[in-house]
């Protein structure tokens, strides 16, 4: 186990290194650059811009800048925001909770709803429900998340007035119920695509399990259909879903970015867009890295969980 | 050369006809085809049938609801005809989708075939790069690129392609890896054919089925991604309309002019769903195992 963990950790670190290089290259080589913001100020001469560039170390070769940035990154110094001089880690940290709350809730919704649909479809394969859900899943995968959000706001906030149209809590309230009311719509909107994906995979996974010998054995032992379903079929078909949850992370995170924009949710996605608007390179770079770390850690956790649950898998 | 490929030319028509038959019996795929064809026709013929130009600004009839004064889908905050803009936007959005399909499929195929054919260290390095690209949420990377590069339709297509080729690369790599040791490849080696010939003339054509499926799904994905970044203001820039940037200002007028949001969203959903349906049908058509279930 320890050896497996170490090698997986090593692989993830190498991947992070490549990710950081791609991200840094993209941001550094793109025209505009961090200095374009200063060039906009009236009365700014080229001399002054050059001075700022050398102060910020931007006049050095790109490779030198990269390794300088990387060596600081490793010791936990992710730079300071160009916008307000706060440390990047602090800025990201203060937006992390909102995004994790949104993603977590959406994942809970999509896992429960998606698996239920998938299991039911598999047990009644070829039936009306199965067919309807197949079409629903493909339509759901085709709806732009942000547009679904707009329509949800139009119906449930503007017309029916049931739910707030944005933000994470009401100023001056902030009770748990208030958070929940603000969370329902964005989390459901974010979950839609994942419900579709989960239901499809869970259907396939259940179909694979239903035909296994141990299910026949369980039935032969005289266990009730319900018990076989809950203990033997559902349990076993959920195992590959844990890996899927890990693999879905980048998509959920990307979806969160758009959902946060529509619902003015104060998370990392909003921060990313704001930082892009200000050409706040250190924060943008930090967010790219943070999202990659989140994705890699999520995948690692998923693999470890599968290994702990499934006795057939030995990690060596 | 010709003697070498007889094997595959003999098999191909059979596979093709069976695949075509399966595709035609796939109800969703047919619906998808109809959806895409109708939408394409509307976008390219529609503008000639409408009384208004897509750039014509009429401040006297701002926010006209659908159906007023010959504006079948209403007007936008500048009094421009939404139907005219929708059709022109469709031309651009779908052109971006197809351009991405071609570029991303080419990049993915080349990287996939090289990685699958050479294996070993080459494959390890290339596939780690694929993994690295996959660990970014693609919208983040897209926005980071689009925000700092002057966006035009061509640039947007290139940027979306840069984040959409990994799927094809993985599929091609897996296919080529499984074909690499087959007899016809050995025969090609013995004939002294170059590596390049074997990769692109012998191996790649054999993976054409999965590539076509992935390419179709890439169109759907590209249309969606264009909508995402244009909605956020970093994609196609007005006055050039795209389905995404038509939705850009829609949120602030949601209460009084909901059609601004509804119309382009429906168009996007129809287009993306159409291509997804077709892709699904193609997958079943090319996959001989699909007969079993």
Q: What is the CATH number of domain B29-46+82-286?
A: 1.10.3720.10
pLDDT at B6: 45
Name the pLDDT band for B3 (thresholds 50, 70, 90): very low
Name the pLDDT band for B7 (thresholds 50, 70, 90): very low
Of the ranges A265-274, B8-17, B253-262, the best mean pLDDT one: A265-274
HSE at residue A226, side-chain half, CA atoms within 13 A, is 0
pLDDT at B15: 57
Nearest to A232 by CA among A242, A223, A243, A244: A223
Instruction: Output the six-digit token pair for A280.
Output: 């706040």
Q: What integer is the mean pLDDT of B254-264?
A: 81
Helices of type H across A45-144: 46-55, 62-74, 88-123, 128-140
The residue whose two tokens read 């007028």 is B253
CA distances from A262 to A161, A316, B257, B260, B269 (A): 17, 45, 17, 15, 18
CA distances from A294 to A4, A253, A268, B132 (A): 20, 9, 12, 13
Tell me the DSSP string of B164-184: TSHHHHHHHHHHHHHHTTSHH
Name the pLDDT band for B99 (thresholds 50, 70, 90): very high
pLDDT less than 50: residues of chain A: none
pLDDT at B275: 92
Name the pLDDT band for B37 (thresholds 50, 70, 90): very high
Q: Which residues from chain A sit within 8 angstroms of residue B242, using beta carbons? A: none
Whether residues A158 and B136 touch (CB distance < 8 A) is answered with no
Burial of B78 (0-12, 13-18, 19+ CB in 10 A): middle
Whether residues A261 and B232 touch (CB distance < 8 A) is answered with yes
Distance from CA of A121 to the nearest CA of B (A): 14
pLDDT tens digits, A61-110: 778 888 888 888 888 778 888 777 788 888 888 888 888 889 889 988 98
Instruction: Output the six-digit token pair for B196.
Output: 């390049």
Whether residues B135 and A295 touch (CB distance < 8 A) is answered with yes
Nearest to B215 by CA among B147, B168, B149: B168
Name the pLDDT band for B290 (thresholds 50, 70, 90): very low
| A83 compared with B272, residue with greater pLDDT | B272
Q: What integer is the mean pLDDT of B224-252?
A: 85
Q: Phi then psi for A239, rounded to 5 degrees?
A: -55, -50
pTM: 0.83
pLDDT at B272: 92
Q: What is the mean pLDDT of chain B?
A: 81
Partner residue opposite A250 with nearest CB, options B134, B232, B255: B134
pLDDT at A91: 86
pLDDT tens digits, B131-162: 888 877 778 888 888 877 767 888 889 989 98
- Asked if the C-beta of B269 comes within 8 angstroms of chain A's C-beta atoms, the answer is yes
What residue segments make up the domains of chain B, in order of their start?
A: 29-46+82-286
CB A181 within 8 A of CB A164: yes
Q: Phi then psi for A305, rounded to 5 degrees?
A: -60, -45
The residue whose two tokens read 């090593």 is A10
Whether residues B273 and A250 touch (CB distance < 8 A) is answered with no
The residue whose two tokens read 């089925």 is B209
pLDDT at B289: 53
* Domains of chain A, earliest start first: 1-75 (no CATH), 89-273 (1.10.3720.10)
pLDDT of B8 > 50? The answer is no
- How far apart, in whole angstroms, are the C-alpha atoms of residue A52 and residue B207? 54
CB atoms within 10 A of CB B171: 20
- How far apart, in whole angstroms, are the C-alpha atoms of residue A188 and residue A109? 7
| B32 compared with A305, residue with greater pLDDT | B32
Among B26, B126, B138, B139, pick the best mutation site for testing chain A contact (most A Cβ within 10 A).
B139
Whether residues B145 and A153 touch (CB distance < 8 A) is answered with no
CB A306 within 8 A of CB A295: no
- Non-local (6+) Cβ contacts of A70 within 8 A are A20
Name the pLDDT band for B288 (thresholds 50, 70, 90): low
pLDDT of B111 > 90? The answer is yes
- How far apart, in whole angstroms, are the C-alpha atoms of residue B280 and residue A183? 34
- Asked if the C-beta of B277 comes within 8 angstroms of chain A's C-beta atoms, the answer is yes
pLDDT at A8: 79
Lowest mean pLDDT among B140-149, B177-186, B214-223: B140-149
Query: From B159, which residue of chain A is nearest by alpha-carbon distance?
Result: A26
Distance from CA of A179 to the nearest CA of B (A): 23
């Amino acid at each position: 186990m320890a050896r497996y963990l170490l090698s997986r950790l090593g692989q993830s670190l190498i991947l992070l290194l490549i990710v950081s290089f791609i991200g840094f290259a993209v941001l550094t080589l793109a025209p505009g650059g961090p200095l374009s913001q200063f060039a906009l100020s009236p009365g700014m001469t080229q001399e002054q811009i050059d001075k700022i560039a050398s102060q910020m170390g931007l006049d050095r070769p790109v490779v030198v800048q990269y390794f300088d940035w990387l060596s600081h990154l490793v010791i936990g110094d992710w730079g300071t925001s160009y916008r307000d001089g706060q440390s990047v880690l602090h800025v990201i940290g203060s937006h992390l909770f909102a995004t994790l709350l949104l993603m977590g809730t959406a994942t809970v919704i999509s896992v429960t709803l998606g698996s239920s649909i998938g299991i039911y479809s598999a047990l009644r394969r070829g039936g009306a429900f199965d067919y309807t859900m197949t079409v629903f899943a493909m339509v759901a995968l085709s709806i732009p998340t942000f547009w679904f959000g707009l329509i949800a706001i139009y119906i449930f906030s503007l017309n029916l007035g049931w739910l707030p149209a944005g933000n994470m809590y009401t100023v001056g309230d902030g009770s748990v119920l208030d958070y929940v009311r603000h969370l329902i719509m964005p989390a459901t909107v974010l979950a839609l695509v994942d419900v579709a994906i989960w239901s499809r995979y869970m259907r396939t996974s259940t179909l694979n399990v239903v035909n296994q010998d141990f299910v026949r054995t369980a039935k032969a032992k005289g266990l009730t259909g319900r018990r076989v379903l809950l203990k033997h079929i559902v349990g076993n078909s959920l195992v590959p879903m844990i890996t899927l949850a890990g693999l879905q992370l980048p998509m959920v995170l990307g979806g969160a970015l758009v959902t946060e924009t529509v619902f003015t949710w104060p998370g990392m996605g909003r921060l990313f867009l704001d930082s892009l608007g200000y050409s706040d390179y250190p924060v943008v770079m930090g967010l790219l890295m943070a999202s990659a770390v989140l994705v890699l850690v999520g995948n690692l956790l998923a693999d470890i969980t599968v290994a702990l649950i499934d006795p057939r898998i030995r990690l060596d | 050369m010709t003697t070498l490929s007889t094997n595959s030319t003999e098999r191909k028509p059979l596979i093709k006809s069976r695949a075509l038959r399966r595709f035609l019996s796939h109800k969703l795929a047919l619906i998808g085809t109809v959806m895409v064809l109708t939408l394409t026709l509307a976008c390219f013929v529609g503008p000639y049938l409408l009384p208004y130009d897509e750039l014509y600004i009429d401040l006297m009839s701002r926010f006209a609801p659908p159906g007023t004064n010959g504006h079948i889908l209403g007007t936008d905050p500048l009094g421009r005809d939404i139907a005219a803009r929708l059709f022109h936007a469709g031309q651009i959005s779908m052109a971006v989708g197809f351009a991405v399909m071609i570029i991303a499929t080419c990049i993915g195929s080349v990287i996939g075939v090289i990685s699958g054919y050479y294996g070993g260290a080459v494959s390890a390095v290339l596939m780690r790069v694929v993994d690295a690209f996959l660990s970014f949420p693609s919208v983040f990377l897209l926005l980071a690129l689009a925000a700092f590069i002057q966006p035009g339709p061509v640039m947007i297509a290139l940027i979306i392609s840069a984040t959409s080729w990994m799927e094809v690369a993985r599929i091609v790599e897996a296919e080529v890896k499984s074909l690499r040791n087959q007899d016809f490849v050995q025969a090609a080696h013995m004939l002294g054919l170059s590596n390049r010939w074997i990769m692109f003339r012998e191996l790649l054509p054999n993976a054409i089925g999965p590539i076509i499926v992935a390419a179709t799904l890439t169109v759907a994905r590209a249309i969606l991604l264009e909508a995402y970044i244009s909605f956020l203001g970093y994609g196609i820039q007005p006055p050039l309309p795209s389905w995404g940037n038509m939705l850009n200002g829609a949120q602030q007028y949601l209460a009084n002019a909901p059609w601004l949001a509804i119309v382009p969203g429906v168009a996007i959903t129809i287009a993306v769903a159409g291509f997804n349906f077709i892709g699904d049908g193609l997958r079943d058509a090319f996959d001989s195992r699909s007969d079993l279930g």
